Structure 1
Amino acid sequence: MAINLELPEKLNSTVERARLAAEHIFRPISRKYDQAEHEYPVELDELGKIAKQARGGDKDSDKAAAAKEDTVNGANLRSVLNARELSWGDVGLMLSIPYQGLGNAAIAAVANEEQLERFADVWAAMAITEPGFGSDSAAVSTTAVLDGDEYVINGEKIFVTAGSRADHVVVWATLDKNVGRAAIKSFVVPMSTDGVTVARLEHKLGIRSSDTAVVRFENARVSADNLLGTPEINVKKGFGGVMQTFDNTRPVVAAMAVGLGRAALEELRRIIEEAGHEIDYDRPVAAQHSAVAEFIRLESDWEASWMLTLRAAWMADNKQPNSAEASMSKAKAGRTVTDLTNKAVEIGATAGFSEKEMLEKWARDSKILDIFEGTQQIQQLIIARRVLGKSSADLR
């Protein structure tokens, strides 16, 4: 199958809907909630309801299209387009939309048909990271012990996006610490479950409008039916099932970086042109002002980020293994957006460093996009393993 980089008309409504929300809802309140950390953005409630309704219709249209087409443009492509447009408005607010949590992406990636139906209306956060580890997801120490027809979960999770706002959380826990990564499974846990508590909210450099929580699990009981995927421990397979989540979510994070990057590029272009410097693509870069040369370099990196993101999402929609491509998109976009926003602050001078403009906020917001869902270093390690044909044991 070949990928066509011209977006299908059926996704125009997704782009337009997200663009309007970014421009008319997110941008006007972006600075307000940056300065009011941990205050819930009530303006997003109606947007969450609309997104919830649209999600059901989108699923039906995807199934109908998949039955007719040789190549599928479905949920993953729609997700990256949505994330790109909304993140142009505000990354933190994009992460705060009800029923659009990272845990929802995990459910979509791993759940069976019955679970997809049962959890269709939940707002799910995702809990992976623990105090004892960051990007090494195989080091999960939170435990899930089967007791009758329930699992008993114990442990502590940090950096849980939407942890105090979502009504459910997808928790990564191990069924047997002695087995290693093969025993790691994900569970959908209602936040109302006895033994589940939000211990604190973090104060952060960026994406302040998004809550980031520490969540504790103390003998929290959840139905065995809430385990995503198979309960069997397959040492040969490892924990590919839960890791498939990242193959879906990393392109979404890359798209968030692309959206934020576009916002910074647009502002940087305005600053350069208002200073009297024309951006001329027909002249050699070396013959133009240094700020123009930087802009063209940054813009080309930004374009490459978007192309990689599209490829990774399209492969996921078409059931092609995309682990390397997902990491490539995340690595490129994460590195590019931090470079781009920091250069925009530098070139923007006083405008870039002042809170009168948004450049300084975008520079703060951008850093997390190169960290969560796997740091830059982790992405490069994954890519190297795939390119060289090495296992995690061979290349650490």
Structure 2
Amino acid sequence: MNLEIPKKLRPIVEQARLVAENVFRPISRKYDTAEHSYPKELDMLAALLDGMNEGGGRASASHLNRDDGARDPSATTKNGGNMIGVLGMMELCWGDVGLALTIPRQGLGNAAVAAVGTPEQKERFGKAWVAMAITEPSAGSDSAAIRTTARLDGDEWVLSGEKIFVTCGERADAVVVWATLDASVGRAAIKSFLVPKGTPGMKVVRLDKKLGIRASDTATIVFEDCRIPKENILGSPEIDTKKSFAGVMKTFDNTRPIVAAMAVGVARAALDRTKEILGRSNLLGRDARPGPNANAVETELHRLEAELEAARLLTMKAAWMADNGIPNSLEASMAKAKAARVANEITLRCVEWCGSVGYAEGELLEKWARDSKILDIFEGTQQIQMLIIARRLLGKSSAELR
């Protein structure tokens, strides 16, 4: 694995940084204050991404694809949609996490369709904005506790249940809904379904107010005898207790590195800005290297930069493995756990170091501290990631290690 940013990907990274600096940063506070207002400025960006993809580019969530076949050791190492996704997201979230989350047609549901969708589903929903609906009032970190049901009635699936904390649930064109075919079977019966917006029986009942990422809408959606075509199931409808619900969980192997990249981006933003502020106050020396004469702030700053670099490399490794057909569930959870925890620590510490300046609305530091917390919660909490990592390292099943 090459630890440097691949040369062919550098133009995309540079473009993402320009978007972060010239589009996201100027409107960041505006949409943090006006929660639930749609950022119309993102329409142009979405159109640009669409044009790049139609021209053969791979700059969207719909290209977070993977090949789980055995990799030929002699094959050339490649950097594809996953690596492009994490590198671009690091830069975008240097600008604003909430805005990055609400770019049209870049939802987590798009990544799910890319990961496990059929060619026909990718054709139908390839240009749609697809959200992801997993969490329920009684099923948060434990996805296997899902109680939303799906039953087959002729040529249609009938969905019933409630989903909460659906990112872009109101704005998206469709939603990937996790539901159980048979609650008595457990994890193996959990499947995911594509539900287009406006389908009878599907209703957005509430938009939540949040601590951070306010530019992104978060919805509660109720399904009451919601009927969708039989072919709208993602993956196989067969219940295989040997495979558990590994099929739907594949989505996380693609999306957790993306969340880790978000954490790396916002943490880097906080460190960059803090060094500017402290530098003006002469609290930082001119030598960037740690040494015996470094003060307490400089010493801690260097430690956190090292932690962030470790998170960045873990994130790149998880993406690289996905691009090269190497199973990456362990690495995806490691990257997500490390990056999210580091981002929380860095953004809060930066607010502390900058005192009243960092705590005030005149600076984005306080916003970044609020935004970063969600990255340690959604797509699997810190505790869930540590549990997954332990199971993988010890070779334990979910039943053996809870």
Shift of 1:50: 1.3
Q: Is the 8 A contact 2:290 2:298 kept in 1?
A: no
Map of 2:7 onto structure 1: 9
The correspondence for 1:228, drawn from 230, 234, 237, is 234
Q: Secondary structure at the match of 2:279?
A: helix
Map of 1:47 onto structure 2: 45
What is the CA–CA distance in structure 2 between the aligned matches of 1:59 and 1:113, rounded to whole Å? 17
Does residue 381 (structure 1) correspond to residue 387 (structure 2)? The answer is yes
The correspondence for 2:148, drawn from 142, 157, 164, is 142
What is the CA–CA distance in structure 2 between the aligned matches of 1:136 and 1:58, rounded to whole Å? 36
Map of 2:287 onto structure 1: 280
Residue deviations 1:329-353 (CA, integer Å, cap 9, x gap): 0000000000000000000001111
- Counterpart residue type for residue 29 of structure 1: I
The correspondence for 1:313, drawn from 299, 313, 319, is 319
- Counterpart residue type for residue 372 of structure 1: F
Residue deviations 1:62-114 (CA, integer Å, cap 9, x gap): 99xx9996112111111101211111110000011000001001111111222
Shift of 1:116: 1.6
Gaps of 5+ in 2: 66-70
What is the CA–CA distance in structure 1 between the aligned matches of 2:75 and 2:11, rounded to whole Å? 20
Q: TM-score, normalised by structure 1?
A: 0.95
Shift of 1:55: 2.7
Q: Is the 8 A contact 1:279 1:292 kept in 2?
A: no
Cα distance, 1:334–1:279 mapped onto 2, change above 3 Å: farther
Q: Secondary structure at the match of 1:106?
A: helix
- Counterpart residue type for residue 304 of structure 1: A
Q: Secondary structure at the match of 2:31?
A: helix
Does residue 21 (structure 1) correspond to residue 19 (structure 2)? The answer is yes
Q: Secondary structure at the match of 1:28?
A: helix
Map of 1:185 onto structure 2: 191
Cα distance, 1:282–1:366 mapped onto 2, change above 3 Å: closer
Aligned-residue identity in percent? 60
Q: Secondary structure at the match of 2:41?
A: helix
What is the CA–CA distance in structure 1 between the aligned matches of 2:230 and 2:192, rounded to whole Å? 11
What is the CA–CA distance in structure 1 between the aligned matches of 2:324 and 2:240, rounded to whole Å? 26
Shift of 1:280: 3.2
- Counterpart residue type for residue 316 of structure 2: L
Does residue 263 (structure 1) correspond to residue 263 (structure 2)? The answer is no
Map of 2:103 onto structure 1: 97
Q: Secondary structure at the match of 1:272?
A: helix
Q: Is the 8 A contact 1:308 1:325 kept in 2?
A: yes
Q: TM-score, normalised by structure 2?
A: 0.94
What is the CA–CA distance in structure 2 between the aligned matches of 1:25 and 1:281, rounded to whole Å? 30
The correspondence for 2:178, drawn from 169, 172, 195, is 172
Q: Is the 8 A contact 2:260 2:335 kept in 1?
A: yes
Q: Secondary structure at the match of 1:40?
A: coil
Map of 2:93 onto structure 1: 87
- Counterpart residue type for residue 46 of structure 1: M
Q: Is the 8 A contact 2:290 2:302 kept in 1?
A: no
Cα distance, 1:183–1:248 mapped onto 2, change above 3 Å: same
Q: Is the 8 A contact 1:272 1:291 kept in 2?
A: no
Map of 1:58 onto structure 2: 57
Runs of 4+ in 1 over 3 A off after TM superposition: 66-69, 279-283
What is the CA–CA distance in structure 1 between the aligned matches of 2:146 and 2:290, rounded to whole Å? 53
Shift of 1:281: 4.7
Does residue 127 (structure 1) correspond to residue 126 (structure 2)? The answer is no
The correspondence for 1:394, drawn from 371, 396, 400, is 400
- Counterpart residue type for residue 364 of structure 2: M
Gaps of 5+ in 1: none
What is the CA–CA distance in structure 2 between the aligned matches of 1:80 and 1:55, rounded to whole Å? 16
What is the CA–CA distance in structure 2 between the aligned matches of 1:266 and 1:85, rounded to whole Å? 13
- Counterpart residue type for residue 58 of structure 1: G
Q: Is the 8 A contact 1:272 1:292 kept in 2?
A: no
Map of 1:159 onto structure 2: 165
Q: Secondary structure at the match of 2:252?
A: helix
C-alpha RMSD of matched pairs (Å): 1.8
- Counterpart residue type for residue 70 of structure 1: T
Count the aligned residue pairs: 390
Q: Secondary structure at the match of 2:244?
A: coil
The correspondence for 2:298, drawn from 278, 281, 292, is 292
Q: Is the 8 A contact 1:163 1:169 kept in 2?
A: yes
What is the CA–CA distance in structure 1 between the aligned matches of 2:286 and 2:326, rounded to whole Å? 39
Residue deviations 1:126-169 (CA, integer Å, cap 9, x gap): 00000002110111110111011110000100000000100100
What is the CA–CA distance in structure 2 between the aligned matches of 1:280 and 1:332, rounded to whole Å? 28
Shift of 1:283: 4.3
Q: Is the 8 A contact 2:58 2:84 kept in 1?
A: no
The correspondence for 2:355, drawn from 346, 349, 353, is 349
Cα distance, 1:283–1:219 mapped onto 2, change above 3 Å: closer
What is the CA–CA distance in structure 1 between the aligned matches of 2:164 and 2:258, rounded to whole Å? 21
Cα distance, 1:51–1:69 mapped onto 2, change above 3 Å: farther
Q: Secondary structure at the match of 1:349?
A: helix
Out of 155-164 and 72-81, give the one that drifted further.
72-81
Q: Secondary structure at the match of 1:287?
A: coil
Shift of 1:59: 4.7
Q: Is the 8 A contact 1:156 1:214 kept in 2?
A: yes
What is the CA–CA distance in structure 2 between the aligned matches of 1:282 and 1:290, rounded to whole Å? 14
Shift of 1:46: 1.1
Residue deviations 1:240-292 (CA, integer Å, cap 9, x gap): 000000000000000000010110010111122222121635443x5311111
- Counterpart residue type for residue 326 of structure 1: A
Q: Secondary structure at the match of 2:348?
A: helix
Shift of 1:8: 2.1
